[in-house]
Structure 1
Amino acid sequence: MMLLSLLANPVVRPECHHPSLKPMLSTRARRNMIRCAEGISLWLAMVLMLFVHPLYAEARAMESEQPGQLYLVDRKSAWQEPALVLDSRFDVQVTGLLAQTHLTRTFRNTSDVWQEGLFVFPLPEQTSVYGLTMTVGERRIVGQLQPRAQARQNYEKAKQAGQKAATVEQNRPNLFTSRIANIAPGEEVTVEVQYQQPVNYRHGEFELRLPTTLTPRYMPGAPVATPASAWQSGWSLPTTQVADADEISPFTVLPDDVNPGSHRATIQLDIEAGLPVDEVTSPSHPLQVELEGSRATVSPEQGQILMDRDVIVRWRPADNQAPTAALFRQQWQGEDFLMAMVMPPATTGQVLRRELLFVIDTSGSMAGESIRQARSALLRGLDTLRPGDRFNVIQFNSQAHALYTQPVPANGHYLARARDYVQDLTADGGTEMAGALSLAMGMDGSESSGHVQQMVFMTDGAVGNESALFDQIRTGLGNRRLFTVAIGSAPNMHFLREAARWGRGQYTAVHSAAEVDKALGKLFAAMEAPVMTDVEVQWPGNAAQPVPAKPGDLFHGQPLLQVVRGAPSEGELTVSGRLPGGRSWRTSLDLASAAPGKGLDRQWARGRIDAVMDSARLAGTEPDEAAIVELSLSHGVMSPFTSFVAIEERVSRPEGESLNQEAVPTLLPAGSQPGMLRYPQTATFGPLLTALGLVGLMFSLAIVMLSRRQTL
């Protein structure tokens, strides 16, 4: 382009502008021709700009920081024709406070080549995975739990040998990867994952959440170079802060990008509540409910549902039937396991002055319905402030910004300015949570003046560096308590729950705008003060091993939950604590009254594994891998260091047949903006650069013609 501009200048190339070289045309004719050429050039330039804009947008998406009949990704990360169809079925059995789920994934290979499928998917944040089964035709292969490296090695060996194989690995406590090798052309392979999760019980209502997709996570840190030949199964490269970013960044597409028969789920819940149920509802899907006494059969009203949001089911006991205590017992391999639930009395104490820091996520993943929910939640929080309270508002995306340099009194002027500020917030950029936490933790508190220091963190939790953030919360929060609000249709509940736990607070979730008042009302009521502190739990005998070993403070509407191994079958369980105002409280439960339970051994093992991980975090050391593997294998529960693998003995893929690798995407969560789509790289930057070059040529031609006009 610069060369053409120089050529257009008669001072640089006078020979090109010698009068003797001009065409023998009249001045008027030459001017008309130049005007015509200029007009055509401008129109072509506009057309090229319209062509360049989508290419530029695509290129930006490919380099941004930012899971089957189905479009898939090959070794070259190219968008391919349909190869696999993905069907899912959730069969859930709820008994008391635990839910057992059989999650069945069916992969159908509609291509004419052998396939290996890879699918990154979410599970509930307190999941205990305890089984894997692969079915091919009439053949059923039961998976084995093995140390992670050994399971991966056995899977790869079977894959190379042409054997059918499937494996499931844990990437995060709520994020897993499934691989299925050697699916023949036209063949169907079914993989069933069995897991359990605790039922959430708060404020007199039970709730179960089934994730079906995930919000693309922000991966802080600089990208780490990977071998050029490595197959990239996700949209992100590993970074200096998230070493496994490539393993937890499945491609994210629109429902229209997949076949109408793919990424649909069938769901059925069979609930045995153990007490009369008054109603079953859902904020996420219309339900079909068959209710009879303490039993309920529940499924989505529309049948198959799109896997673009969490499925949330709630049930409420009949009037005056809400439990205040419950005991369950299971005998497993000759040992007794018990689960206890105790609800503290609903008492209130002195209303204390508070210093509230509201931290709101305004990153790109919050764009759309999520930022609207977050703004409503924050405005609701401002309404709870009373005279004498102090507050501040901090928003963060790629950077953090505080409305005021320090917390200010909750009076009319400051509150009015804060409301205007919140209503103007928009969502864009990265999710640099660490900077927001540092800014909030670094503010001078008012503890010396009698204010209770609290922080309310509103986010979808879409980050890949959860562990580092937990460390930051644990070491830097000081005397503040952290309360989290999960925003959006598919939030990272593991992060929201654990952040609140390390921050000695509580968490809640806002699934829709209609839920803001209800959810936030309960949270801010709980924030007034803990209902019970100095909680002590005493099991009879000396061999009891409870998890958690030391319960934390309890808030309004929150029960005490503890699972124990080795307690005797008789005797009394005693729970005590301190109520607001310093009053003591104590209650006892007869162990002989325990109802039959199921899965308590797995729940205990999962709690023990979490305790070992917590101990390492507190000590600043690596977790005791050997102890975790031993717990995992002895109780049949997956851990960060163990995986399930199922291998068919016979060889399926003939020697000489190649194996294609395909990464199955997840769907964009409902309410998210297109900016959060994470497509595979469909092309290089060549088309963009070519188009930009053509635009440059057009502008250069315009300069040439303008110079010629001036010489006429």
Structure 2
Amino acid sequence: MPDASRITPPVVAPTEAPVNPVSMHIRLDPGMPLAHLESVYHAVNTEKNAQGIYQLTLQDAQVPANRDFELLWVPAPGNAPQAALFNEQWQGDEYALLMLMPPAPAPAGATARRVPREVIYVIDTSGSMHGDSIIQARAALKLALERLTTADRFNVIQFNHQTSALFSRAVAATADNLQRALSYVDRLVADGGTEMLPALQLALGQQPEQGVLRQIIFLTDGSVGNEQALFSLIHQQLGDSRLFTVGIGSAPNSFFMTRAAQFGRGTFTYIGKVAEVGEKMAALFSKLETPRLTDIEIHWPQDQPVEMWPARIPDLYLGEPVLVALKLQQPNLPLTLTGDAAGVPWQQQVTLRGGAARSGVHQLWARRKIADLMDQRAQGVAEPEVRKAVLDVALTHRLVSRYTSLVAVDKTPSRPADQGLENKALPTNLPQGWSATKVFGSLPQTATASEWNLLVGLLLLACGVLFSRWPGVGFGVRVGPVSDGKAHGGNVL
């Protein structure tokens, strides 16, 4: 991979103490009653006041920065999709954040309508998946296969520096095909480099039959640096498919997998430990089988300009609210939300002044617009045009972006005046659950073994020069019959 050095920084040896300890304090104002609040990977202390605002701190004062921090909260459900609203006035404009929340799950024993599906499972078997990650991925994939029905079709694709598929095309989920797939998954091992593009090309290259819902489930730690090339491929070849990404391990590339799922009109699921596989994958597959609200649209009076992000609203799934950020000029503008709730038309009226006032809504809208502008590069928009548009938004709303930074000048001396500057890559912590020898081997922490190869090459070259200048000494291959130390009718190579 040409950009491997960007995603394989030097790491602290496992025998050394972790660096960059982290502490945090969180103030959470969800704006609605919660059914559940949980810190998934770190123990926290939680306090809630009379206004429904939560204060959270780590139970350990400091923790090593070697895995993601994930805070999960679930709104208290109702019997139908609900909409919550937050708004803010800033520099003469009205900004709003609309949150669509799914209804409560169906009662136990109730059956939901399911459509025939073609499900393509793509699993990363590169060396960075060694250890806990490949164990989690295999368990998740086997659970997925066991949930398929006879009305479904499926295929399994694995990739590292090579890509291969179990079947040439998607096949029916018969007992024989499923058993063959389960045995195939059991034999998967993590080794080799990471070449994700061919795997995505193979998964997106075929379109389903009429009336079949095609879902691609991508299980990976996302250790790639060529995100833009992958985004472009998804944009160009997605068609009517949906792409759902599953992040595996303690330090997945959440940026890539979140944006890939948004490009692919799907969702991102994160699995950080083996114990979560059953619960999280069951929830994922349940929502894939029965989306709660589809074809969502927001309508407003035609004479009122409204700028909305995302421009195309994704489907609403169980346990995952949809957030829509809006900028408008009329503060009391009425909006009408419509959608399809499992075959039943759904509609709700919202007045923007009816929401709770919150600061920072304008910046959230700006971040979403910047993200959309950056994604336009994958759609062929020229970089200078994107840069100009991003600068306008980022400077107006005072945000850090690819083209803007917050600059602070520190005049405190940090080195002796007579000592020169030098560039040095600072090591980070090895992600929790990773194997240093499997990912990096015994080589130095660089992208390739090029320095070692260069050293060996120079040593051999020096030996060659030495032997060529030494009287009576030579080496090579003699061709032809040999007599008294000389070759006749042949050549010396």
- How far did 1:640 drift? 1.3
Q: What is residue 424 of structure 2 aligned with on the other side?
A: 662
- How far did 1:446 drift? 4.5
Distance across 1 between alignment mates of 2:28 and 2:433: 30
Following superposition of structure 1 onto structure 2, how do residues 128-207 of structure 1 map, counting pairs within 5 Å? none
Contact 1:253 1:668 in 2 (8 A): yes
Partner-residue secondary structure (3-state), 1:666: coil
Q: What is residue 213 of structure 2 aligned with on the other side?
A: 452
Q: What is residue 192 of structure 2 aligned with on the other side?
A: 429
Which structure has more relative contact order (CA 8 Å, sep 6+)? It is 1
Q: What is residue 527 of structure 1 aligned with on the other side?
A: 288
Residue 403 (str. 1) matches residue 161 (str. 2): no
Distance 1:363 1:351, change over 3 A: same
**Structure with greater strand percent:** 1
Amino acid at match of 1:252: V
Amino acid at match of 2:265: R
- How far did 1:664 drift? 1.8
Distance across 2 between alignment mates of 1:556 and 1:567: 33
Q: Tell me which of 594, 601, 618 is aligned to 2:379.
A: 618
- What's the TM-score once normalised by structure 1's chain length? 0.58
Q: Which runs of 5+ in 2 are unaligned?
A: 461-493
Distance across 2 between alignment mates of 1:452 and 1:428: 33
- How far did 1:457 drift? 0.8
Amino acid at match of 2:60: Q
- How far did 1:373 drift? 0.4
Distance 1:279 1:501, change over 3 A: closer
Contact 2:9 2:445 in 1 (8 A): no
Q: Tell me which of 256, 263, 266 is aligned to 1:495.
A: 256
- How far did 1:255 drift? 5.0
- How far did 1:612 drift? 2.2
Larger radius of gyration: 1
Partner-residue secondary structure (3-state), 2:317: coil
- How far did 1:651 drift? 8.2
Distance 1:323 1:477, change over 3 A: closer
- How far did 1:601 drift? 1.4
Distance 1:309 1:653, change over 3 A: closer
Distance across 1 between alignment mates of 2:263 and 2:77: 35
- How far did 1:317 drift? 4.9
Partner-residue secondary structure (3-state), 1:670: coil
Distance across 1 between alignment mates of 2:213 and 2:311: 27
Distance across 2 between alignment mates of 1:257 and 1:630: 45
Residue 594 (str. 1) matches residue 355 (str. 2): yes
Q: What is residue 335 of structure 1 aligned with on the other side?
A: 93
Distance across 1 between alignment mates of 2:453 and 2:208: 58
- 1:109-128 Cα distance to aligned partner (Å, 9 max, x none): xxxxxxxxxxxxxxxxxxxx
Residue 266 (str. 1) matches residue 23 (str. 2): yes
Distance across 2 between alignment mates of 1:431 and 1:472: 17
Residue 465 (str. 1) matches residue 242 (str. 2): no
Distance across 1 between alignment mates of 2:414 and 2:434: 42
Distance across 2 between alignment mates of 1:632 and 1:257: 40
Residue 544 (str. 1) matches residue 302 (str. 2): no
Amino acid at match of 2:67: R
- How far did 1:247 drift? 5.2
- How far did 1:684 drift? 6.2
Distance across 2 between alignment mates of 1:313 and 1:322: 25
Q: What is residue 54 of structure 2 aligned with on the other side?
A: 296
Distance across 1 between alignment mates of 2:276 and 2:80: 22
- How far did 1:497 drift? 1.4
- How far did 1:332 drift? 1.8
- How far did 1:599 drift? 1.1
Partner-residue secondary structure (3-state), 2:164: strand
Deviation larger for 613-622 or 518-527? 613-622
Q: What is residue 480 of structure 2 aligned with on the other side?
A: none
Residue 584 (str. 1) matches residue 345 (str. 2): yes
- How far did 1:668 drift? 0.8
Contact 2:158 2:199 in 1 (8 A): yes
Q: Tell me which of 15, 18, 21 is aligned to 1:256.
A: 15
Q: Quick one: percent identity of the two aligned structures?
A: 39
Distance across 2 between alignment mates of 1:602 and 1:409: 48
Contact 2:97 2:325 in 1 (8 A): yes
Q: What is residue 312 of structure 1 aligned with on the other side?
A: 70
Distance across 2 between alignment mates of 1:340 and 1:426: 44
- How far did 1:440 drift? 2.3
Q: What is residue 389 of structure 1 aligned with on the other side?
A: 152
Distance across 2 between alignment mates of 1:360 and 1:652: 47
- 1:308-349 Cα distance to aligned partner (Å, 9 max, x none): 111122234568699932111212223221111122556886
Distance 1:275 1:657, change over 3 A: same
Contact 1:456 1:484 in 2 (8 A): yes
Residue 512 (str. 1) matches residue 273 (str. 2): yes
Q: What is residue 119 of structure 2 aligned with on the other side?
A: 356
- What's the TM-score once normalised by structure 2's chain length? 0.82
Amino acid at match of 1:612: L
Partner-residue secondary structure (3-state), 1:644: coil
Distance across 2 between alignment mates of 1:402 and 1:676: 24
Distance across 2 between alignment mates of 1:652 and 1:387: 67
Contact 2:117 2:153 in 1 (8 A): yes
Q: What is residue 479 of structure 1 aligned with on the other side?
A: 240
Distance 1:579 1:246, change over 3 A: same
- 1:8-55 Cα distance to aligned partner (Å, 9 max, x none): xxxxxxxxxxxxxxxxxxxxxxxxxxxxxxxxxxxxxxxxxxxxxxxx
Contact 2:28 2:54 in 1 (8 A): yes
Q: Tell me which of 396, 401, 414 is aligned to 1:634.
A: 396
Partner-residue secondary structure (3-state), 1:615: helix
Partner-residue secondary structure (3-state), 2:94: strand
Contact 2:80 2:102 in 1 (8 A): no
When the two chains are superposed, the root-mean-square deviation of aligned CA atoms in Å is 3.1
Distance 1:650 1:388, change over 3 A: closer
- How far did 1:248 drift? 5.3
Distance across 2 between alignment mates of 1:506 and 1:279: 20
Distance across 2 between alignment mates of 1:344 and 1:587: 13
Amino acid at match of 1:506: T
Distance across 2 between alignment mates of 1:686 and 1:394: 34
Q: Which runs of 5+ in 1 are unaligned?
A: 1-219, 221-238, 694-712
- How far did 1:525 drift? 1.7
Q: What is residue 41 of structure 2 aligned with on the other side?
A: 284
Distance across 1 between alignment mates of 2:414 and 2:274: 51
Contact 1:253 1:679 in 2 (8 A): no
Distance across 2 between alignment mates of 1:318 and 1:442: 41
- How far did 1:643 drift? 2.0
Contact 1:536 1:576 in 2 (8 A): yes
Contact 1:398 1:430 in 2 (8 A): yes
Partner-residue secondary structure (3-state), 1:589: strand
